[in-house]
Amino acid sequence: MRHPHAIAIGVSLALLLSLAAAGCSRSTLTAPAPETAPVSQEVTPPPPPSRLAGPSILSTGTQLPPILPVVTQSWYVLTAKVARKDEVTVVSGGRYQLSFERGSLDKDALITIEEYDNDILDIQLGPHGTVFGEPVLLSIDFTGTTADPGSIWADGSELVVYWLNEKTNLWEEVPGTTDWARRRHNVRLEHFSRYVVGGKAGWKQQPDREQD
């Protein structure tokens, strides 16, 4: 027969071994998860400037306010044509026509006219930022818009063209003239940028407009 002390020691050892095993098991289950790399947070850039109105520019009869938040838009090319620096060149697309004089360009260039909606008089002209030695004539056909006296939507708006000054993020007026008989508004451009047609506040339709 085994001695009681030996039995007690054996039980104690068995308990110690059981506790040790349980401790190892518990530490395995509760060990902290390995550190994961922080999820990168993509910074969304501020939206680019957007047009302020389309035909509604003409229907409001109000001058364009500062640029508003973006309306998603995809620009597409209406036309692309090479203009030679020493030639008179006309580039037409949609409602728009550009007339280059000799000396307007200091080198040959691929001229583009882009828009994102053919019902909205808002265009980009390229190469963007091109500066001209001789002004380039931009002629805009406004037939059927609310500025057209013959349109059922006519509201007496007086047309005005604005260009987007990217340094100030403001629209600036471009002086121009309107050929009411041919339904065309003409401005002379010193450079290529983004241009939009709007209406001046407070102008009334003149009775003799058809005879201008």
- Residue 27 confidence (pLDDT): 33
**Highest-pLDDT range among 66-70, 98-102, 116-120, 201-205:** 98-102
Confidence class for position 144, pLDDT limits 50, 70, 90 = confident
DSSP 8-73: HHHHHHHHHHHHHHHHHHHHHHHPPPPP-PPPP-PPPPPPPP--S-SHHHHHHT----SPPSP---
CB distance 150 to 137 below 8 Å? no
- Residue 80 confidence (pLDDT): 97
- Residue 119 confidence (pLDDT): 81
161: nearest Cα among 72, 68, 58, 12: 58
Higher pLDDT, 79 or 53: 79
Q: Is the per-residue pLDDT at 148 higher than 90?
A: no
- Residue 65 confidence (pLDDT): 40
- Residue 35 confidence (pLDDT): 47
113: nearest Cα among 139, 144, 148, 143: 139
CATH number of the structural domain 55-211: 2.60.220.30
Q: Which helix (H) or strand (E) holds 7?
A: helix 4-30
- Proportion of the chain above pLDDT 90, given as a percent: 42
Q: Is the pTM of this model over 0.75?
A: no
> What average pLDDT does the segment 11-20 reach?
51
**Highest-pLDDT range among 10-14, 45-49, 170-174, 196-200:** 170-174
Q: Would you list the domain boundaries of the chain? A: 1-30, 55-211
Strand order in the sheet with 96-100: 89-93, 96-100, 131-141, 184-191, 176-179
How does the average pLDDT of the chain come out, rounded?
73
User: What length is written for the chain?
Assistant: 212
Q: Is the per-residue pLDDT at 33 higher than 60?
A: no
